[in-house]
Every structure is written in C-alpha cells, then in structure tokens.
Amino acid sequence: MSEKRNQNRGGMGGRPGMVAGDKAKNFRGTIVKLFQYMKPFYLQIAMIILFSAIATVLTIIAPKVLGQATTTLAEGLVAKYSQNGNIDFNKIQTILLTLVVIYVASGLFRYFESWIMAGVTQKITYNLRSEISSKINRLPLRYFDKQTHGEVLSRITNDVDTVSQSLNQSVQQVFSSLITIIGVLYMMLSISWELTLMALIVVPLSGLAAAFVVKHSQKYFKAQQSTLGKVNGHIEEMYGGHLVMKAFNGEEKSISIFSKHNEDLYTAAWKAQFISGIMMPITSFIGNVGYVGVCVLGGYLAIHKGLAIGDIQAFITYVRNFNQPITQTAQIMNILQSTAAAAERVFEFLEEEEEVPDTNHPISIRDEEGNINIKGNVSFKNVVFGYDPEKTIIHNFSMDIPAGSQVAIVGPTGAGKTTIVKLLMRFYDINSGSISVDGINIKDLTRHDLRDCFGMVLQDAWLRSDTIMENIRYGNTQASDQEVIQAADNAYVDHFIRTLEDGYQTAINEESTNISQGQKQLLTIARTFLSDPKVLILDEATSSVDTRTEILIQKGMENLMKGRTSFVIAHRLSTIKNADIIMVMDHGDIVEVGTHKELLSKNGFYAKLYNSQFEEALA
C-alpha cells in the first residue's frame, strides 16, 4: 500500500493552506454554529438562565441589606452617644439572618446552575465527538492522504476539549455578568445618581481596553491551536516509526523538527496567554481609578447631603461588583476567541467534502438470508483514473476476469498495481469508464455490499489491541468460537496459537509487537477465511519473514484462493507462476497479459522483470 502514500501524502505539514497567525475566517459564523449545537438543550439553558438570574439578584440585594444593618448600627451609636436612644440589636439580628438566608439561597441556585451547565457542555462535547467519529468513516481516502494522524487526532481531542472547557466557563458567566451589570446599575441609581455617574465614567475606558486585547489575541489563539496539531502530528509519526527513526540515526533531525514546532507553539501560546493575561490588570486599574473617585464623592455627599453611611458602604460594594462583571465579560470575550479558534477547526473537519453518496436505488446482491450472492466475474472497461485529476495514472484500462480466476498484477513500483484494487473496492472513484462485478456496475451497489464481496490480506498486516480470538472474529463478528478456530486451522496458524500460554485469549498489544510479522500475516489470512469472501485481494508480504513461515503463508493463501476470484499484487514473480492471468503494468497501462509461460516466450517487459529477479536471486 506504499504507492498511494508516496504519490499523495506530500509532506508532514498540518492543515493545507494554514499559516500560523491566521485569524478565524468567520468568528461570528463559528459562534452561531456552536449555538446551533445547543438547540436540543434550550430547556436546560432556560433553567440555567433562570437560576443564574435568581442567584445574581439575591447577590445584588445582599449589599443593600447589609447596608441597612450598617446604617442601623451607625444610627444607634449616634443615638447612644447623644443619649437619645440605644443600638437596636434585634433589628440588626433580623437583618443579618435575612442576609444569611439570601446567601444560602444564592449558593444553592449557583450549585444547580453549575450542575446543569456541566451536563449541557459535556453532552455537546459528546455529540461533537460522535459526529467527528461518524464523519471520519464518510471521508474519502484522499483527505487522509493530505493530513497527518496527529492533525486529525488534535481536532478530536484538543479542539473539542477546548470547546467544552470554554463553553463551561463562558456560558454561565455571560448570563451572570449581564444580569449583574443591569441589576447593580439599578441599585446604584437607586442610591445616588451622582455616584453612579462617577462610577460609569471609567466604563468606556474598560471597554476600549478589552476590545484592544481581544483584537490582538485572536490571531495568537488561532496559531496556538494550529501549531499544537503539528506538534501532536510529529510526535505521533515519530512514535509510530521510532524503530526506523533510530535505525537511520534520525534522532537529531526528529528533535530538530520537534524543536521548531515546539518553538512555534511556545511563541504562539506565550503571546496568546500574555496578551489575554493583561486584560485583568488593565481593567482592574481603570476600575480602581473609578473606585477612588466614588469614595471621595461619597464622603462629600454624606457630609453635605446626608447620604446614609450604609448606602455609601453598599454603593462601594456595588462599584466593586459592577467592575467585576465588566472584567469577566472582557475575559469571556477572550475565552470566546479560543473557543472560536478550536470550534472553527472542528467545523471545518465536519464540513470536509465526503465520499460520493451511494446510489439512491442500489441493486441488491444478497440472498434471502442476507448473504452475498455473486459468482465473482470482474470486468474493467476503459477505466481512466488519477489521484490528481490533472495527472492520470491509469489510462484506458480494460480487462474481463472470469469467476474463480487467479489474477496476478505485476510491475515496477508506481506502475498502478495497488491503485487497481483500490478502484475495485471504491476507495477511490474512477474518472471515467466502468468496473463491474457479475455484470453490475459497482456504482450501482452500496459500498457496504460491494466491500462485503471482498476479502483483503494486505502487505501491512493490521491487528487490533485485543485477543487473538477477537482479531480473527473481526472478519465476521457473528462467528462462533469454533468457526474462528476452524478459520485459523485453514490458515495454518492454529498450531502456533495453541503454543501460546493463553492460546486464543492471548492479547495483542497496541503495536502488535508481541508476535512476529509472519504470525500477524497468518492471523490476517485466518480473519479473511472467516469472512468467506467471493473475491480476494492479496498483497504479498513474505519478504520479511523466515523461510518456514513464508511456506506457511503461501499455503494459507493458496488454501484461501481455492474457488475464489483472486487478485494478487505480486512482488516476487516466482510466486505467481501458476496464475491464470498475469497482468503486467507500467505507468498505469497494461503492457502485457498472459500466463507465465506465454509471457516468458514473448521475451518482453515481463521477461525482463522476471529475469532481473532471477539474476538477483542467483547473486
């Protein structure tokens, strides 16, 4: 399967066309899309708003109530000093008990508000990850040809987590801050319009400072998310191929590339956090200036206009409470920049072009019991294809293959051998021409039914991190244990499995390093046996195994091919001497077709390939 990677991958970079420092293409549109995901939770959000409003109103009332206690105490002290009365402790006690009730009720409403909000944000996160997981299965292979694994994983993990955390922090604070600003402003006006005017003078300055910070921090948050994807991609790639990297002494180069990505991430993250971090000091400084003015004016009004001491105390508290939601709102806007940067990357992924949909009226190839019912005749007619529409690599390819035939596809690297079978299974759609199975155009079948016709044993043997039993059962999830064991026996791997301490319950580790390459290959053959396909695609993988294991693999593959149409991508020409049809490809064209003897007698391209391998073997 290496041809595709060589032709299409093109590099290790992250998202194509993305440059560190880019701003969100559509900040408002991204936020709107994000809120659309909240539609199913409007009832919960309404409860959050209600609880937030109640808790905030109670919090706003509290300073006024406490001011009444202060005024009562001050008036009592004055009366006692002038010998005209005493401090009314009963009234103060009643006020303080009322204050306790207010604070307890406010705390309870805050608790339920946070509890509901946590459920909403986690459900949105769950839905986003589910959509991404579903989307991955609908994306064409060409998308993954252009993306690193780390870049895709970054969108599923880092970006979705950022959205989740940001929503959890910002949504509650948005409602709370807005209600606080309105409520506190009302209470301030009810106490003194002069003090309110003094307090509001600094508000425009805070707004300008917040807007400045938000404007300059967005591009760095965007760059932070982008470079984080590149760091993850490089780490995942180096970890996956660490043996090869070490074998070629690639540590220094790997560290150099990582250092560059890490430096970019550090620079972007530092700037984003620094610029966003100066938000609070700036707004706090501006707020403190207003706070000083309020204190001076409040003293003047108390002396000359008889403003109650408790009201001054309450107003000073309101000034603090008024500046806090303004600062929080500025911080929320800053958080939303990070949210937008992450959400935009998630939405871009969800909006990527998908595979061409299956036909609306597919032809059924299943019998009454739901099993695939075809013979295995395959036909290519005037097939033209290129990974890049401007670069055709398969030119006018035609071939009729009878059911049960063994077809070997040979040719030099890059000739188009692997591409043929990818087109056969509709991993890619052809540019023109047609491919048919039993006379039915594969585009008239669903991809599910089409791929159920095929069994694949690829050069890169893939196993899950699970038991041997479940890895083989992956070929047919409904198979019984006995059927799994029979498939393993047919693939000549049963004996090896029984020599293991845990037999069929032996767990394959994440990298499948606890068994050999040849043993992995035998297990994939057993898995294919269990799927009982009508058409086989075999990519030989015996070059890296010992002779004894190679013989077992060859036996297993020969056993598997009996009675089935088989496409064998041949690397060792000596293994396909008995093939019914040998297709010789070069630069996307079939240059020769025939049996082994016929092609040797022609002394053409195939003969040169075969003789060159024979000479290498002798050498």
Q: Is 598 contained in some domain?
A: no
pLDDT band at 112 (very low <50, low <70, confident <90, very high): very high
CB count within 10 Å of CB 481 equals 11
590 in a domain, yes or no? no
Instruction: Calculate mean pLDDT across residues 219-234.
Output: 81
Q: What is the pLDDT of residue 8?
A: 37
- Tokens coding 599: 């092609």
> Which one is predicted more confidently, 123 or 148?
123
Most confident option among 71-80, 226-235, 277-286, 462-471? 462-471
CA distances from 123 to 53, 109, 128, 164, 212 (A): 23, 21, 9, 9, 34
Q: What integer is the mean pLDDT of 124-138?
A: 86
How does strand 406-410 pair with strand 581-586? parallel
DSSP H or E segment with residue 100: helix 89-138
Q: Is residue 431 part of a domain?
A: no
Domain ranges, residue 98? 12-350
- Asked whether residue 176 is assigned to any structural domain, the reply reads yes
Q: What is the number of structural domains in the chain?
A: 1
At 508-567, the pLDDT tens digits run: 876 667 788 888 888 888 898 888 888 988 876 555 566 677 777 778 888 888 888 988
Residue 45 falls inside a structural domain = yes
Q: Taking residues 169-182, what's their average pLDDT? A: 79
User: Is-contact 157 277, C-beta < 8 A?
Assistant: no
Task: Give the pLDDT confidence score for residue 547 in this predicted structure.
Answer: 67
pLDDT at 460 over 60: yes
Q: State the pLDDT at residue 18.
A: 37
Residue 367 has pLDDT above 90, yes or no: no
pLDDT of the residue at 7: 37
**Nearest one of 428, 416, 377 to 583, comparing CA atoms:** 416
Average pLDDT estimate for 488-494:
89
Kindly tell me if the per-residue pLDDT of 464 is higher than 80: yes
pLDDT tier for residue 12 given thresholds of 50, 70 and 90: very low
Residue 11 backbone dihedrals phi, psi, to 5 degrees: 165, 180
Per-residue H/E/C for 425-455: CCCCCCCEEEEEECCEEHHHCCHHHHHHCEE
The reported pLDDT for the residue numbered 286 is 75
**CATH number for position 246:** 1.20.1560.10
- Report phi then psi at 534, rounded to 5: -90, -30
pLDDT > 60? residue 24: no
Give a yes or no: residue 122 inside a domain.
yes
At residue 540, the pLDDT reads: 67
Q: How confident is the model at residue 20 (pLDDT cuts 50, 70, 90)?
A: very low
Q: Provide the pLDDT confidence category of residue 614 given band limits of 50, 70 and 90.
A: low
pLDDT average, residue stretch 280-284: 75
pLDDT for 469: 93
Q: Could you give phi then psi for residue 152, rounded to 5 degrees?
A: -65, -45
Using a pLDDT cut of 90, give the percent of the chain over it: 9
In this predicted structure, the answer to whether residue 441 has a pLDDT above a threshold of 90 is: yes
Burial 494-515 (b: 16+ CB within 10 A, else e): bebbeeeeeebeeebeeebeeb
Residue 483 has pLDDT above 90, yes or no: yes
For the cut 50, the answer to whether the pLDDT of residue 438 exceeds it is yes
**Structure confidence at residue 182 (pLDDT):** 85
What's the pLDDT score for residue 239?
A: 75
Residue pLDDT, tens place only, 342-362: 888 888 888 888 888 888 888
**Per-residue pLDDT, 22:** 39
**Mean pLDDT in residue range 121-128:** 87
Residue with tokens 């069994």: 455
183 domain-assigned: yes
- Print the SS3 string covering 257-303: HHHHHHHHHHHHHHHHHHHHHCHHHHHHHHHHHHHHHHHHHHHHHHH
The average pLDDT across 212-226 equals 77
Query: Has residue 532 been placed in a domain?
Result: no
Q: Is the pLDDT of residue 10 over 70?
A: no
Cα separation, 373 vs 291, whole angstroms? 83
Lowest mean pLDDT among 47-61, 346-360, 385-399: 385-399
The tens digit of pLDDT for each residue in 36-46 reads 878 888 888 88
